[in-house]
Amino acid sequence: MSEGPKRREEKNEEKRREKDEKEDEKRKGWDEKWRRDRVNAFMWAAVLIWGALVILAETTDYAKDHFSSWWEGWAVFFAGAGAILLITAFYRVLVPEHRRSVAGNVIIGLVLLGIGLGSLISWNYIWVIVLIIIAIMILLRAFVPRRRT
């Protein structure tokens, strides 16, 4: 009879250890993902740094003193963030060891760039160009065969 409760306690202990191991694997998986994909980590860090620089320029009135004719904080942020995403996508296409699907980054980058430039220049032409580029990307993805690497 004494073996019954002891045995149950051992099983419960084993289940707890397995659960802890799974949680550790999840945590390690997330950390390893960011370590493995340094390009993505760099991209998001660059967007945050760009945002901080835009906020700094806004709060110190540096932007109004030097760029008053065209400066709009949010527009500059969106245009810069879009440019960073597009540059990252271009880098992924050029460098084989970092190659991954870039369609999402290009579309989001174009939309952000369109938002930023549309506020700075003119909405009339920017969105037409952005939509045409996105449509061309969709067509290329649908009709051009993928290379196996």
pLDDT of res. 87: 92
Q: Is residue 60 part of a domain?
A: yes
Q: In the 3-class helix/strand/coil scheme, how is 77-102 assigned residue by residue? A: HHHHHHHHHHHHHHHHHHCHHHCCCC
In which element (H, E) is residue 1 found? none
Which domain covers residue 24, as residue numbers?
1-36
pLDDT of res. 35: 59
pLDDT digits (tens, 9 = 90+) for 104-147: 888 899 889 888 887 777 777 777 887 888 888 888 778 877 66
Same domain? For 6 and 73 the reply is no
What value does the mean pLDDT take over residues 18-44?
A: 70
Domain tally, the chain: 2
Whole-angstrom Cα distance, residue 92 to residue 102? 7
Same domain? For 44 and 19 the reply is no
Q: Is residue 148 part of a domain?
A: no
Q: Is residue 149 part of a domain?
A: no
Same domain? For 96 and 125 the reply is yes
Within 10 A of 97 (CB to CB), how many other CB atoms are there?
7
pLDDT of res. 124: 74
Same domain? For 80 and 128 the reply is yes
Residue 95, both tokens:
């460098």
Q: Is residue 99 part of a domain?
A: yes
| In the predicted structure, residue 84 carries a pLDDT above the cut 90 | yes
Same domain? For 30 and 42 the reply is no
Same domain? For 24 and 61 the reply is no
Whole-angstrom Cα distance, residue 77 to residue 47? 9
Q: Is residue 91 part of a domain?
A: yes
Q: What 8-state DSSP symbol labels residue 72? A: -
pLDDT digits (tens, 9 = 90+) for 3-21: 567 777 777 777 777 777 7
Q: Which residues contact 98 (CB under 8 A, 6 or more apart)?
A: 39, 91, 92
Average confidence score pLDDT of the chain: 79
58 vs 109 pLDDT, higher one: 109
Same domain? For 8 and 45 the reply is no
